[in-house]
Chains A and B, each alone.
Chain A
Amino acid sequence: MIRAAQLGVRLAWRAKPSRSALIVVGSALAATLLLTGAGAYSAMHAGPSTSDTQRLLLTVAIALAAPIVVLLITAARLSAGSRDRRAAALSRLGLARLKVRSLAGAENAVLAALGSLIGVGLHLLVAAPLLDALGRRADWFAREPVAPVSATIGLTLGVVAAAASVAYLPNRSARPGARTDVASARPRLWRLVPISLGTICLITATALHGNRDGDPTSVELAGFLGGAALAILGLPIALPVAVRVLGDMATRAQAPSIAIAGRGLQSEPASTTRLVAAVLAALTVVTGALCVLQAFWDLNGVQRQLLADTVGPQFGRLELVPGAPSPTEAEIDRVAAVPGVSAVVARVNYVVEGRTGACAGETEPADPCGSAFVGTCADLAAIYGAVTGCRDDAVLETRVEEFESGPSVWTSSDQLWLRPNGYADPIQPEPVGPSVEITPVAGQIVFPYEATETVGIFDVFVPRAFAPSLPISGVTVVMDGGPVVRAAVEAAVEGISGDYNSPNVSELRRVEAYEATTWSVAGIMLATGLAGLAIAGADRVTERRRRLASLWAVGAPSGVLRRSQMLQSLLPLAVGAPLAVVIGGLIGTAYLALGGIVGRYPWSQTLVLLGIALAAAVITAVISQVGLVRRPSPDLLHRE
């Protein structure tokens, strides 16, 4: 065994350099991604992150693991044909199967170790800049996202072990006298079991939860997680069945390139599927994430903050400390002079007794109370825009227009397991200062519905003239949308006593960070998957060079050869990609359903993702045909 391993080490350096290089590259990529994930997790753990964000990162890590594993397997099984021939020759010489595999394992391990070391270096170089944009934006990381030493050692050894263990996978053609029996290449129907089970689990978990409020039960959660895992893993397992059917159909085509590709798919439905498995995993996971993300975007709070951040208006609030001096007119003017500020309104918010409803902070109100706004109709117009029925000579109740329609569906992010924080608060009544008697209510002010969504409303309007002695409790700054005016106002209020609350866009920022994370993950997963596709495609062409050269020699147009090779890579993707999107959509929908939400399906984003994936796959497949040179060497057709 040790001798076999020693021979394997020697072969690692003497094998085809292109193959060895590809294994090194594959391992380096895998190590870089794993270590960066570990670094991010550890940096997040040390920081003020919530369990929700840690759960998010864990999901990201699992999502990234799938294409990494596929990439590693792809790299470690490169040039399977020539290596199988070598293994068969060694078997004929009398080497036991385990020894043959040890040899291949040692060869892979040496190359993967080199790749992993490069990966460690790459991780140190790229981790911080890669995660900086995401982390800083969402304030997730407490320190640089560099993997701890223990994780570095563990993951590096893991990559090496994984690459080596691929050599121990069963390999039919390595047996002496083994033949490729095309009939046996017909995939068995058991391959459909995992994906079917996964789908059933997802649907069952959703149905069990039904319309019930609250978090999912452990059974529903297990059904969802198990179903999602089975569906994601089951897709590449089931796909060869569809690929074989597609191959059967393609062989009937008139065009030689399609028919040749069809025969190729018939003969090797599983190995051609393996080439695109990572891309499919990426599509599934990212489509699911896009569904959840769409629900985030549909949150009222996010919509509101998005509107405030882009179009406006947005509202800043200066809360005065009881007993502290009120802002001077010069200070108010300084704020009002900021470009983009449309109004600065001194607020007098008070609690009123004699009304039903809970006071702020009280779950069981001891005394019925409500909130009052003491000011003028001009103040109301400046803050709320179109209000109707306001009079400066009477105490008025408030009412909100009936909600008719709008883009928002969800009123609370509590329904989503990954909760954005910093929900915009409505104006809270502030029981400060002396109390005054007010005259009975004489009418109603009607607010537009949007007022409840932006600055919040109050129960009673009291004209300023009715309570001129009440000190102001705060200042509301009404400004245009955008971060520039927000920052300018923040600068202008500095020095004024009280606490200034800038317009809250934290929820928007968090969702933007989730979105950036999703697309980054999509990019990394797709790039990893496509790297595997390109590596395997190039290796495939190299492996078949002699056969392709003979076809070229008999005059077969090179376009036919090129197209047939490309179709063999792309047809499984063409079948698998829509399936991946459907499975991803199902997982995302089930996730939302367990939170009691019926989400909108993100069709446009999914189609963009699908288009990018397919276009990138076509480009990758074209690039991988570089080995198929226009005029092969005649040496390929003759051996002395």
Chain B
Amino acid sequence: MDSVLCGRGLVRRFGERAALDGVDFEVGRGEVVAVMGPSGSGKSTLLMCLAGIDVPDDGVVEFDGKGLSTMNERGRAELRLRRFGFVFQFGELVPELTLAENVSLPLWLTGTPRRRATALARRMLEELGILEHADHRTSEVSGGEAQRAAVARALVHRPEVVFADEPTGALDTANGELVLEAIVAAAASRDAAVVIVTHEPRVAAFAQREVTLRDGRLHEPASLLP
């Protein structure tokens, strides 16, 4: 399997404490990897560095053979907008926008005409089973439905890598499973790599591979699947 995203020798310090202490990580196209570890182990920091949201103090992150550190802030934002997808812990949709508008946002921001962006967003919402809420705002739907809309937003522009940071952290078991199934299925149909950060084994069970972080170090080195 081709490696689409990799980090080598990643170090990230906050004061004296090293959240990442020489981490090597790799994920291939279509692969679902779960990054496990207790609270404060550096999982989310790893995700932020891999996604170009945060910049490591040392080490390199490469996407599609290109180093993220060679890009400026604008270039990294462009990359995140066009080729990455994100599912945050609490969805983080824009509450003033409808679900359809929230989902169409990445397309809209990259210049897709609004009508076409909305049509694609509706198709995505239909795929995730929440089309009837397309014109509702986040305050008018349940937490699970809002999180599924966040998944739709992460996938609508057919990203090559999807990052999910504790995507079920704010959901009950049933809704959590719905969301995870949606992420994995939608990613599989698009051949997108998925990096899920979680501390819950039941979430990690959806992944093809698990890695564990403890005190900023990977204890089970990641390797590409055969």
Chain A residues engaging chain B, CB cutoff 8 angstroms: 179-182, 254, 256, 259-260, 263-264, 266-267, 546-547, 550-558, 560, 630-631, 634, 637-640
Instruction: Find out whether the CB atom of A260 lies under 8 angstroms from the CB atom of B92.
Output: no
A263 to B80, alpha carbons, bound, how many Å?
A: 24
In the complex, the answer to whether B94 meets A552 with C-beta atoms within 8 Å is: no
B window 84-125: CB within 8 A of A? 84-86, 88-90, 92, 94-98, 101, 105-106, 108-109, 113-114
Whether the Cβ atoms of A263 and B165 lie closer than 8 Å is: no
18 A–B pairs (Cβ distance < 8 Å), ordered by A: A179-B139, A179-B140, A182-B140, A259-B101, A259-B114, A547-B92, A547-B95, A550-B92, A554-B81, A554-B85, A554-B153, A555-B80, A555-B84, A555-B109, A556-B77, A556-B109, A557-B109, A634-B53
Residues of B within 8 A of A560 (CB): 109
With A182-B137, A555-B77, A555-B82 known as contacts, the answer to whether A260 contacts B166 (CB < 8 A) is: no
Residues of A contacting B153 in the complex (Cβ-Cβ under 8 angstroms)? 554
What residues of B have a CB within 8 angstroms of the CB of A558 in the complex? 77
Beta-carbon contact of A551 and B94 below 8 Å: yes
Whether A634 pairs with B73 at a CB distance below 8 angstroms is: no
Q: Could you tell me if A263 and B140 are in contact, using CB atoms closer than 8 angstroms?
A: no
B39: Cβ under 8 A from any A Cβ: yes
Out of A267, A552, A638, which one reaches B89, CB within 8 Å? A638
Q: How far is the CA of A264 from the CA of B96 in the complex (A)?
A: 5
A260 CA to B84 CA, complexed, in Å: 22
Q: Specify the chain B residue showing the minimal Cβ separation from A252.
A: B114
Return A593 CB to nearest CB of chain B, in Å. 45
Determine the chain B residues whose CB is within 8 A of the CB of A630 once the complex forms.
73
Shortest CB distance B132–A (Å): 17
In angstroms, how far is the closest chain A Cβ from the Cβ of B130?
A: 18
B44 located at the interface, meaning its Cβ lies under 8 Å from any Cβ of chain A in the complex = yes
Which A-B residue pairs are the 6 nearest by beta carbons? A555-B81, A550-B92, A555-B80, A263-B96, A638-B44, A634-B48
Contacts A553-B80, A554-B81, A637-B53 given: A631-B108 contact, CB under 8 Å?
Answer: no
CB-defined contacts of B108 to chain A, threshold 8 Å: 256
Contact check, A254 vs B114: say whether CB atoms are below 8 A apart. yes
Interface residues of B (CB under 8 A from A): 39-40, 44-45, 48, 51, 53-54, 73, 77-82, 84-86, 88-90, 92, 94-98, 101, 105-106, 108-109, 113-114, 137, 139-140, 153, 165-166
Query: Given known contacts A181-B139, A181-B140, is B105 in contact with A256 (CB within 8 Å)?
Result: yes
Q: Separation in Å of the A464 CB from the closest CB of chain B?
A: 88
A556 vs B105: C-alpha distance in the bound complex, in angstroms? 9
Q: CB distance A554 to B44 under 8 Å?
A: no
Q: A256-B108, A260-B97, A547-B94 are in contact. Are A554 and B86 (CB under 8 A)?
A: yes
A180 and B95 CA atoms in complex are apart in Å by 10
Q: Are A637 and B48 in contact (CB under 8 A)?
A: yes
The residues of B that contact A631 with a CB separation of less than 8 Å are 73
Would you give the shortest CB distance from B174 to chain A, in whole angstroms? 21
Asked if A638 contacts B137 (CB within 8 A), the reply is no
Chain A's closest residue to B89 (CB) is: A638
Task: Name the distance in Å between A257's Cβ and chain B's nearest Cβ.
Answer: 10
| In contact, B97 and A640 (Cβ under 8 angstroms) | no
Give bound CA distance, A553 to B53, whole Å.
6
Q: Which residues in B have their C-beta under 8 angstroms from that of A264?
A: 96
- In the complex the two chains form, is A550's CB within 8 Å of B88's CB? yes
Collect the chain A residues with CB atoms within 8 Å of residue B166's CB. Answer: 638
Residues in A with CB closer than 8 Å to B45 are 634
**B79 to A, closest residue via Cβ:** A555
> In the complex, which residues of chain B have a beta carbon less than 8 angstroms from the beta carbon of A266?
96
- Enumerate chain A residues within 8 angstroms of B48, measured Cβ to Cβ: 634, 637-638
Are B82 and A637 touching (Cβ within 8 A)?
A: no
B73 cross-chain contacts in A, Cβ below 8 A: 630-631
A82–chain B nearest beta-carbon distance, Å: 15
Kindly name the residue among A558, A638, A640 whose own CB sees the greatest number of chain B CB atoms within 10 A. A638
**How far is the CB of B65 from the nearest CB of chain A, in Å?**
20
Which residues of chain B come closer than 8 Å to A546, judged between CB atoms? 92
Say how far A169's CB is from chain B's closest CB, in angstroms. Answer: 22
Q: Smallest CB–CB gap between B186 and chain A, Å?
A: 16
Assembly CA distance A555 to B79 (angstroms)? 7
In whole angstroms, what is the CA distance A259 to B108 when docked? 11
Q: Separation in Å of the B169 CB from the closest CB of chain A?
A: 8
Measured CB to CB, the nearest residue on chain A to B165 is: A638
CA distance A557 to B114 in the complex (A): 17
Q: Which residue of B lies closest to A182 (CB)?
A: B137
Residue of A nearest to B98 (CB): A263
Inter-chain CA distance A181–B109, complex, in Å, is: 27
The interface centre, meaning the residue of B53, B82, B85, B140 with most chain A CB atoms within 10 A of its CB, is B53
B89→A639 contact, CB < 8 A: yes
Task: Give the shortest distance, in Å, between B107 (CB) and chain A (any CB).
Answer: 10
Closest A residue to B84 by CB, please name it: A555
Give the complex CA separation of A560 and B111 in angstroms: 13
Closest to B197 in A: A638
Q: A554-B85, A637-B48 are in contact. List 15 more A-B contacts (CB 8 A).
A: A181-B140, A182-B139, A259-B114, A260-B94, A260-B97, A263-B101, A546-B92, A551-B94, A552-B77, A554-B80, A555-B106, A556-B77, A558-B77, A630-B73, A638-B88
Shortest C-beta distance, B146 to chain A (Å), equals 12
State whether B53 touches A256 (Cβ < 8 A). no
- Across the interface, name the chain B residue whose C-beta is closest to A631: B73
B109 touches A256 (CB 8 A): yes
Chain A residues within 8 Å of B39, by CB: 640
Q: What's the nearest-Cβ distance from chain B to residue A639, in Å?
A: 7
A550 to B221, CA, bound (A): 30
B69 to chain A: closest CB distance in Å? 15
Q: Which residues of the partner chain B approach A547 to less than 8 Å between Cβ atoms?
A: 92, 94-95
Q: What residue in chain A is nearest B169 (Cβ atoms)?
A: A639
Query: For residue B83, which residue of chain A has the nearest CB?
Result: A555
With the chains together, A266 CA to B108 CA distance in Å? 20
Minimum Cβ distance to chain A for residue B7 (Å): 15
List the B side residues contacting A260 at CB < 8 Å: 94, 96-97
Q: Say how far B86's CB is from chain A's closest CB, in angstroms.
A: 5
**Which B residues are in CB contact (< 8 Å) with A554?**
80-81, 84-86, 105-106, 153
On chain A, the residues within 8 Å of B101 by CB distance are: 259, 263
Of the candidates A254, A637, A640, the one whose C-beta lies within 8 Å of that of B40 is A640
Kindly list chain A residues whose C-beta atoms are within 8 Å of the C-beta of B85: 554
